[in-house]
Each structure stands twice: as C-alpha cells, then as structure tokens.
Amino acid sequence: MGNRGMEDLIPLVNKLQDAFSSIGQACNLDLPQIAVVGGQSAGKSSVLENFVGRDFLPRGSGIVTRRPLVLQLISATAEWAEFLHCKGKKFTDFDEVRQEIEAETDRVTGANKGISPVPINLRVYSPHVLNLTLIDLPGITKVPVGDQPVDIEQQIREMIMQFITRESCLILAVTPANTDLANSDALKLAKDVDPQGLRTIGVITKLDLMDEGTDARDVLENKLLPLRRGYIGVVNRSQKDIDGKKDIKAALEAERKFFLSHPSYRHMAEKMGTPRLQRVLNEQLTNHIRDTLPAFRSKLQSQLLALDKEAEEYRGYRPDDPSRKTKQLLQMVQQFSVDFEKRIEGSGDQVDTVELSGGAKINRIFHERFPFELVKMECDEKEMRREISYAIKNIHGIRTGLFTPDMAFEAIVKKQIIKLKGPCVKCVDMVIQELINTVRQCSNKLECFPMLREETERIVTCHIRDRESRAKDQVLLLIDVQLSYINTNHEDFIGFANAQQRSSQTNKSQSSAGNQVIRKGWLTINNISIMKGGAKEYWFVLTAESLSWFKDDEEKEKKYMLPLDNLKVRDVEKSFMSSKHIFCIFNTESRNVYKDNRTLELACDSQDDVDSWKSSLLRAGVYPEKTTTVESETTTTSDNFSMDPQLERKVETIRNLVDSYMAIVNKCIRDLMPKTIMHLMINNVKEFINAELLAQLYSTGDQNALMDESQEQAQRRDEVLRTHQALKEALMIIGDISTSTITVPMPPPVDTSWMAGSSGGRRSPPASPTAPRRMSSGQRPAPRGAPPPPNRPGPLGPFNNSADSPQAPSRPNRAPPSIPSRRPPPSPTRQAPP
C-alpha cells in the first residue's frame, strides 16, 4: 500500500472514535473532504488512486470521469468495496469496481461522453486508510464532444463548485507541467472559493513529460506563481504503465527515483512525490483533529460533571435489598407530598414559566371563571320584567291590587337563586380536574417505579372523587340555605322604600368609577381587512366606561376609544387556519362598533386569556350574550307585552329589590364557595396524602412489588455508570492525543494576485517591454527570493509581481509559455527589444 503517511494517524483517530463509541456517541470530527480539481487528462484520477493504493478508476481518452465519484474511505480490518446503488454487494476485486463505475456512469449519462451531476457513491473499507472522503470530479473542458451539451464548460464548473465551496473541503488543484500554469482553470476555481489559500494545495503532474531541457523548478519552489501552501510535484503512471498493469508500489518507487535523479529536483526530492502529498494532507487532518479536541473536551467535562452526583448514588446500589426498598418508599411518598403541597400553595423553586398550574389555576377558577359563570346565567332584562309582571298579576288574581306584593319578590328571587346551582357545581368540577392533573404531575417523579406510581395515582384520585360528592352536597346545601329564608332585613338590602331611588344611585356610582382601570394587556384585532393591513396587535386598556387601544404599552398614541354602552360579548368559533382564540364585542342595538364593523373581534393566545378578558369585561358591565332556544316565541310574546303605568312602577320596584337581594346572595356565594372547596377538598386531600397515603400503600399488598423498578430505570442506571466511566477514559485519551501530536503552523500568506485576473483563462497583454521571457538553459533566474523588477503587473491582473509574465511585444504571435523552462539560448533576433 502506498499511503504510509496517513497510517500514522489511524491509531490516533481510532482511539478517539472508540472513546466516543463506548458512550454511544458519534465521533463528529468532520474530517475534511478532499476534492481533486483539474482539466481533462491532468492526472486527477491517478492522484486519487494513490490515496487508496489501488488501481480502480476508469481510463481512456476524452472525459473519463463523467459523474462525480464520492469515495468514502473507511478504516476496517479487511479490504473490500461497495456501492450505494448496490447495497449489500461486496467487491473484493478492484477490476470489478472499475467495471461497475463505467457501467453506472453509462446508465445515467449514456455511452457517448454525456455528463451528469448525480454522484456515484463508493465506499472502500481497508486497514490502510483513514475515514476520509475523496471526490473525483469531471475534468474541465471547453469543447463539447459526443452527446455533450453546448454549455458543457459551465455545467462542469457548477458541478465542481457544489463540492469545493464547502469550508471542510481541501482542494487539490491539479495542473499538468506541460501546460501554462497561469491559465490553470483548477487554480482559478480554487481562488474563487478560497481567496486566502487556506485549503488549496497545488499539484503539478506529468513532470516526466516536459520537453527536454525544460523544468518546473521555480514553480515547485513556490517562487513563480506562488500559493500559500505551495506546490507538490508528482509523477503518475503513464498509459503504457497502466496497460502493462504496473502496480502502484512500483510506480511510487519509480517516482522517487525520478526526483532523486533529476538535476533540477534532486535538491528538493524529499518535498516532492505522492508520499509528500499524503504527509501534507496528514498534517492538515491532524491540525483539524487538534482544533476539534477542545470543544470535545469541554463537552465531555460538562457531561461528566452532570453525571457525578447520579453516578455516586448508583454505586453499590442493590435493587433487591428489602431495607433499601422500604427506605426508598418512605422517601418517595414524602417527596410526593412535598411536591403536591408546593404546587397547591406555591413555591419559589422549580417555578413553571410556561403556563399556570396547581394552586394558581385554582385561584383563577375561584376569582375569574366562577364569577363569570355566575353572570352568564343572568336572564335578559325584558324577560325578567315580563316574569315579574306575570307574578304580580297571578298573585292578585281576579282582583286589581293597590300595593306591590312581596310574594312576587320572593318568587322571582328564589327562581334566580336556584339558577346558581349550575355554576357552583361546575366550579367544583373544574377544581377537581385541576387537582387530578396536579396529582399526575407530581407522580412523574415516581415513573421509575411503575407499580408505585399507578397505586399512588389510584389511591389519591379515589379519595378526591370521594370528597367530590361531599363537596357538591355541601355546595348545594349552601344554595338550599339561601332558599330557605329570604332575609329582607339584611343591612345591605335596600328595602321597598328605597327601591325607587336605586337606579339614580347606581348611575352616580358608575359615573364616579369612570376612570378606574380594570385591565390592561395585548390583544389582536382580528377583523381588519387585508387591504388595511390585516390583523394587528394593540395594547388595550379597559376602564369602567370605555375600552381603548394604543399602538404600544407606552400608551402615547391612542388608536381608538370605544364606549361600553349597549355592548355585549359572545364567543367566536376558532378558524381552521388560526392558532388564536377569538371573542367579539357587539352592540345590542345593531349599530357599528368599530368604524364600518358591526363587531370587534379580539384574539388571544389561549382560552384562559379569553376567559380572563371576558371576566374583566363583566366587571365593566359588558355581559355575555344570552342564547335562547325559543327565540321566535319570546320575540312574539315580548312584542305583544305591554303594561299600564301603575303595573310598570310595581315591576320597577320589584326589579330593583331583586337586584339588591341577588347582589347579597352572589356576594355570599362567591365568598363561601372557595372556602367550602378549600376545606372539604383541597385541605382534606393534602392531609390525606400526608397522613394516610403511606398506610394505604402498605395495605395494598406486597410492598416489595411496589418498589420494583422499571426496565427503563435499570437500563438508565447501567447507562449512567457505564457512561461515567467511559467519559473518564475518553478524557484521558483526549489528553494523550493532545500531547502526542504536533501542530503544523499554517504557512504565511503569499501574494496570489496572479490568480485574480480575467475570465476564461486568457492572459492579459504585457504592461511593460521589460517583462521577462522564459529562461534559457544558459541563463539563471534572479537570485532565489530576490525581489522582482518594479512595475511588473501579473498576467491575470494586479496580483503578483513574481508571477509568470507574458511574452515581450516583439513576439506577439507566440503561444503562451508553459511552466518556465530551461532551453538553449535563443538567437539574438528573438530577443526582446531593450
């Protein structure tokens, strides 16, 4: 095998990969890809084969590589190859690999020189390679042949650019020695994507095919047309050698003899040849690995620190120890009790910042959802007055009453009190659901013991359901107590004498509270037309008299102010395309609410926000819309309903009395409901968990079965211990790698402006008659490293003064020179004019 340089790095990388594999992680070193770029017949495939040490790529005239070949080298104990399009088939004969590449190329591109950007993926497993990716790209051509399209050059360039633009791709810019280096398309492409030359290595091939008396010494010494990483010369096998089955080992030996025996290269033979190219790439890979190690070390150290405490607990852990199970059962139940109490009572540690839960949600139920449900059951004003008038008339019977009957007041009040049962029972249901959700959240810490978790949830949930019936009985008892006696002597009750004055007093109190701010927050106006910008978010301010919105929460630029008179609220069905929850405000007199809109649709991020805003609007006197099932019948009855002035005064009096007394009842119920639920349910459940849960668990049967850990927990424990140990070993290996490898510094920058010139590879005309020509064998160039003559621009633009320059004006028809040569002294007639 020819790739001895990289073999030195194989044990190092394998150790690192084994360290990561032992903890179940990928060793994401992201080793660079190596792309071989050059013109047709530049020797790219031969350079690529030298990395593998096998002769496996197609040969012939014209474009041989017509599809990108992505070659993945994978270190293994045996040697074989496989294609992505032939999964499961192993190729041990590399002649068959070549035949398969040719067949697969023809299958996609045809047999008449067509090209395709679809890559062929080949994996080569060998004990003599590193895990690298090599890419053989089609040679750059300018003239289409066969079935090739007219824009063949552009297509190949775009195909090459797809690979070499990646920052992790090393570029081997291959140029034959018998062509003009300044016009090298490979170097031009490399310059476009790597202007600093950090990942470009020049490769000069076919040094053995140069004309007699010429050489590429100045180029290989990086003095003419310099690159930051310089040039490396290689001698590949000729077509005759390939046809004669000359193996790569013999070719490498012949290459070495060539450099040692050639008078122009013998002084730098150690810096030339395929082994040198492999060593340069090996240095680059080693540098890359060393640069990657600090991030890996930091990652491993943080993982080790996170596992230290848990691994310490698991050391010496005996799953079947009865004493351990008993102790752990006590700890688990105690922790469950503490977690439940923290979620209900609130705690500063482990605060949920995403949503409300536990006690906070129950608090919202008590003070926002429940009052809202109470108001929702209030009947329509016209319906209330109609019921009062019917009650008055039915009480008087055939007689015409002179006084307002108090029995009508009691009948209407009791009917209203009975309606409170629905909201009260619903409040209990909502609290129960939240308690059950809290129990499930607290039991998540018991998931490593499935039986314990299941039994804990079952016991506590059964107790909550048992308390549910008692709480509902008590709540209904509160309503029955209110029904049993109508206390008209209550200090807050206005009485018959003051009933007529209540309306004016209410109006005054409302006007005095006009500037009271009830709520502020962001809402989205949903029904703005697309022509006017679509839905927009504004800062809303709700007071007792109006709803205003501003551009932002600084409240400097007011957009609109909406009075609350004759407004009501109703729900809007959530649209299919929207994630928002919507409610709308409308005018009961069918007037426009906002500009030309009959309704104002407001959107919130969650249903809880909608309920909260509706509760706030309720406090401001904006009530929810009442849905009626017999709307037509009600409308007909109300249209025919009329009262005489005396009856209307009686109805108004009783209406004010009902409002006054129901305000007292609602105030009492809103105060007693949270207290009743807290006493009969929440506090009772907390006491049950603290005092009786453990006893209930012991009474269920085998305590050892309760503490049988789940399979996942056993795997977790083993994984933690194994990972902790492997992390320690990995850190030690990384330390060894850091001390056993040497970083090769990046070469200093060079002036590569000679590559930045005109398109199409055409050389610019000389700017000075003093431009030098190719040197003869009798001439020696300027001393090595001497500064170039002044005022000498590069052939491709303002880039490099030491670059290969064009011919003098006296030789305008001469072809561009090849790599500077050493030929016999030219005749005087061919000398450039002074």
Percent of the chain with pLDDT over 90: 8
User: How many Å separate Cα 224 from the centre of its chain?
Assistant: 49
Burial category of 217 from C-beta neighbours within 10 Å (exposed 0-12, middle 13-18, buried 19 and up): buried
What pLDDT was estimated at residue 404?
Answer: 58
Percentage of residues of the chain with pLDDT beyond 70: 71
Residue 646: both structure tokens together: 């005396």
Spatial CA neighbour of 716 closest among 448, 454, 453:
448
Which one-letter amino acid corresponds to residue 37?
Answer: V
| Residue that wins the pLDDT comparison between 657 and 815 | 657
**Does residue 753 have a pLDDT over 70?**
no
* β-bridge partners, 74: 125
Q: Tell me the pLDDT band of 5, cut-offs 50, 70 and 90.
A: very low
H-run or E-run covering 416: helix 406-418
Residue 516, both tokens: 């009271």
Structure tokens at 449: 């013991």
| H or E element, residue 539 | strand 536-543
State pLDDT tens for residues 121-167: 888 888 777 667 778 888 877 777 766 677 778 888 888 888 888 87
Of the candidates 730, 614, 674, the one whose C-alpha atom is nearest the C-alpha of residue 301 is 730
Parallel/antiparallel/unpaired status of strands 536-543 and 231-233: unpaired
**Residue bearing tokens 């040197």:** 775
Helix (H, G, I), strand (E, B) or coil at 547: strand
What whole-number distance in Å separates Cα of residue 340 and Cα of residue 685? 10
Q: Kindly calculate the radius of gyration of the chain based on its CA atoms and give it in whole angstroms.
A: 45
Q: What pLDDT digit, counting tens, does each position of 662-690 carry?
A: 888 988 998 999 999 999 999 999 999 99
Whole-angstrom CA distances from 184 to 33, 136, 678 are 22, 18, 86
Q: What is the pLDDT of residue 474?
A: 93
Q: To 10 degrees, what angle do helices 10-21 and 274-314 make?
A: 20
Q: What is the pLDDT of residue 280?
A: 81
- Please state, in angstroms and rounded to a whole number, the distance separating the CA atoms of residues 403 and 730: 98
pLDDT at 779 over 60: no
- At residue 478 the predicted structure's pLDDT band, cuts being 50, 70 and 90, is very high
What integer is the mean pLDDT of 90-110? 83
CA distance 804 to 224: 6
Q: Is 125 left (phi over 0), alpha (psi -120 to 50) or beta?
A: beta
Distance CA 696, CA 682 (A): 19
Q: Work out the number of other CB atoms within 10 angstroms of the CB of residue 631.
A: 9
Residues near 6 by beta carbon (within 8 Å), at least 6 away in sequence: 51, 129, 130, 132, 278, 281, 282, 285
Helix (H) or strand (E) holding 421: helix 421-442
Mean pLDDT of 511-533: 72
What SS3 state is found at 528?
A: coil
Report angle CA 263, 268, 272 to the nearest 5 degrees: 105
Question: pLDDT at position 678, please?
Answer: 92
Distance, in Å, from the CA atom of 147 to the CA atom of 106, rounded to the nearest integer, reads 12
